[in-house]
Amino acid sequence: MVFTLFRIILLFTEFKQLEILPHKYALIANAFFMGWRFDTVISGYILFFPLLFLSIFSFFNGSKKLLYNIIHYFIFIFFSLAFALCALDIPYFNYYFSRLTIVILSWTDNAAFGFKMIFEETSYFIYFIVFLIVCFLFYISIKKIKKIIVSNSSSIGNKKINFYISHLLFSLLALAIMFLGIRGRIEKKSPIKVGTAYFSNYAFPNQLGLNPVFTFIQSYIDKLNPENASLHLMDNGLAIKITNTNLGIKNNQIPFERLVEAKSNQPNANIVLVIMESMSAGKMKRFGNTKNLTPFLDSIANVGLCFNNIYSAGIHTFNGIFSTLFSYPALLKQHPMNATEIPIYTGFSNTLKNFGYQNIYFTTHDEQFDNVSGFLHANGFDKIVSQKDYPSSAILSTLGVPDHYMFNFSIPLLNQLNNNKKAFFAAFMTASDHGPYIIPDNIPFKPKQNDMREGIVEYADWAISQFVTDVSNQKWFDNTIFVFLADHGSVIGSNIYDMPLTYNHIPLIVYAPKLIKESKSIDEFGGQIDVYPTIMGLLGYSYVNNTAGIDLLNEKRPYMYFSADDKIGCVNDSLFYIYRTNGKESLFKYKKEETKDYIADYKHIAIEMRNYAFANFQASQWMISNKKTK
């Protein structure tokens, strides 16, 4: 009730936000329901240990007055702290349009200035008064509750075994319910996250559903996580200078930002982008696999645009989604989509939205995993189709539905988007080529390979072939550019380097039989970060490219860089440079699969490759840290 009270106050202070909302009452109702879920999480964390100790000591005789008093003050203190954050959150949100995070702690370096600023703003006093009144009423309420409990408590005496069994079962049930409240969701893959609150395309109702205690604590945890530490690979100024030189930008103050003039003429073409789970280039016949696991992908690679030297930004699915859609590299261990305060990026969704596109994202499983839903909703996606949308009978594992089911499910939705007379951008994230491997029985497909890990690759390729065959009969097919690439590769065979290239070397195929008349095999080096500007070049729009990516059909890279958590890799046509965060460097002739380390023999080349990779990573970090990505 108290958390809801503060949410109501926030709503009234931001009532102007309702003017732009369609179906405003439904959206606000959903926001308050979402808020109840987040409030329950915070209440659950505070009440879990009191419940645990009360349950344990309820099995024993003797006075529990001391225990009741300790729990009484424990509950009062921690809820009062939570209410204080809620009160502080209201003026914070009014100023920043963001729920409370540990950014507020940055004021501690200038505490006198901060407090002076607060107390000079008299309108803030109302929230302080509300906080005091709430704490007083809360204390009175729990004091009455404690009195009732104490008066009703009695000695266990000589109870029979049935009493202890029923008492134990009841206690376990209560703790289980409390744990469920803390987790916030019943789905297996992920507990409740900030992104869960992003249920609509409108920022205010999404944020209204959050609890500021949750966002504050989560931002603190994010900061403590070493994976989220900012990179300090080289001086920011030097990094910006190097990247701008490579990108042909004269302004050395802001890296990346440059105006791209249209050179093609395919405006308003639809884009269907399929990010394939674990589809290493090494699984395709085109790149040397002899088992013919991907006949369809190989066939369209021969008639479309096939980029032969493409590398994933990292080794995780979240790296692949983020870098492909928004053209920023994977900054070692950082999880770019899991931040409490979600940044806004240019990239496919936000840029195409400016040109009137409809944006939709399909995944086979829980959309909250890796905070994908919240991140994409905040970055221009209109709809996320996920496990919640599929019938329960179609869900086969924690990875949700099989690939072919997701593709089949998408076709009526894409037809509906086409009927709106506006172009669409549809991104798919497959999952079948990831354990647990499941090939459905009730489909006209049987793998030729006995090894399930190879059979599932055949299935993934078949699912894509069925999708393209089915949509070839749709009205929008002729005006659509299909893009196929992987989120990352996989370890194939034996690997002589501690950074397996099969994990980063991936296919990139652009297929549009009615729009791209001439097939090409492109050997220039590139990565997931280059997909967005390359496709924008095909579309033929003039736009501002504010990313680390380049148009691979009109620009060239001397090297391609990527990462694998604690390692950075960089390749050219013969050498593979590896930097490890412990400081050790290596340089290999990877084309010849040599194990000799040539770092001393080709020191000047190693330095060039390192500076190229470091500069791009550091400049990207600078862009993100300084909120220049929008």
User: What integer pLDDT is reported at residue 613 of this predicted model?
Assistant: 98
The DSSP bridge pattern shows strands 585-589 and 358-363 to be unpaired
**Residue 377 half-sphere exposure toward CB, CA atoms < 13 A:** 23
> What is the C-alpha to C-alpha distance for residues 41 and 234, in angstroms, rounded to an integer?
41
- DSSP conformation letters of 53-86: HHHHHTTS-S--HHHHHHHHHHHHHHHHHHHHHH
The DSSP bridge pattern shows strands 543-545 and 520-527 to be unpaired
* Bridge partner list, 310: 506, 526
DSSP state of 229: P
C-alpha torsion 437→442→446→452, nearest 10: 10
Distance in Å from the first CA to the final CA of the chain: 38
Cα three-residue angle 495-501-506, rounded to 5 degrees: 135
User: What integer pLDDT is reported at residue 539 of this predicted model?
Assistant: 93
With a cut of 50, list the residues of the chain below it in pLDDT.
none
* Bridge partner list, 470: none
Question: What confidence tens digit (pLDDT) does each residue in 379-418 have?
Answer: 999 999 999 999 999 999 989 999 999 999 999 999 999 9
Residue 511 to residues 489, 607, 623, Cα–Cα distance (Å): 21, 38, 32
Residue located via tokens 């221009």: 380
Catalogue the long-range contacts made by 54-63 (C-beta closer than 8 Å, 24 or more residues apart).
Answer: 55/171, 55/174, 55/175, 58/167, 58/171, 59/156, 59/164, 59/167, 60/156, 61/155, 61/156, 61/157
- 3 state DSSP class of 509: strand
- 3 state DSSP class of 94: helix
Parse the chain into domains and list their residue ranges: 2-224, 271-558
**Residue 496 half-sphere exposure toward CB, CA atoms < 13 A:** 13
For residue 353, the one-letter residue type is: K
> What is the C-alpha to C-alpha distance for residues 334 and 617, in angstroms, rounded to an integer?
12
- 3 state DSSP class of 112: helix
- 3 state DSSP class of 93: helix
What the block records as the tokens of 604 is 């000047």
User: What integer pLDDT is reported at residue 320 of this predicted model?
Assistant: 97
Please state at what angle helix 24-57 crosses helix 2-13, rounded to 10 degrees.
Answer: 160
Q: Is 310 exposed, middle or buried (0-12, 13-18, 19+ CB in 10 A)?
A: buried
Superfamily of domain 271-558: Alkaline Phosphatase, subunit A (3.40.720.10)
Please provide the size of the chain in residues.
630
User: What integer pLDDT is reported at residue 269 of this predicted model?
Assistant: 95
Catalogue the long-range contacts made by 378-383 (C-beta closer than 8 Å, 24 or more residues apart).
Answer: 378/198, 378/203, 378/206, 378/342, 378/344, 379/325, 379/326, 379/342, 379/344, 379/345, 379/347, 379/349, 379/350, 380/349, 380/350, 380/352, 380/353, 381/349, 382/201, 382/358, 383/359, 383/413
> What is the C-alpha to C-alpha distance for residues 397 and 304, in angstroms, rounded to an integer?
34
Q: Is the pTM of this model over 0.85?
A: no
User: What integer pLDDT is reported at residue 201 of this predicted model?
Assistant: 76
DSSP state of 582: T
User: What integer pLDDT is reported at residue 93 of this predicted model?
Assistant: 84
Contact 590, 226 (CB under 8 A): no
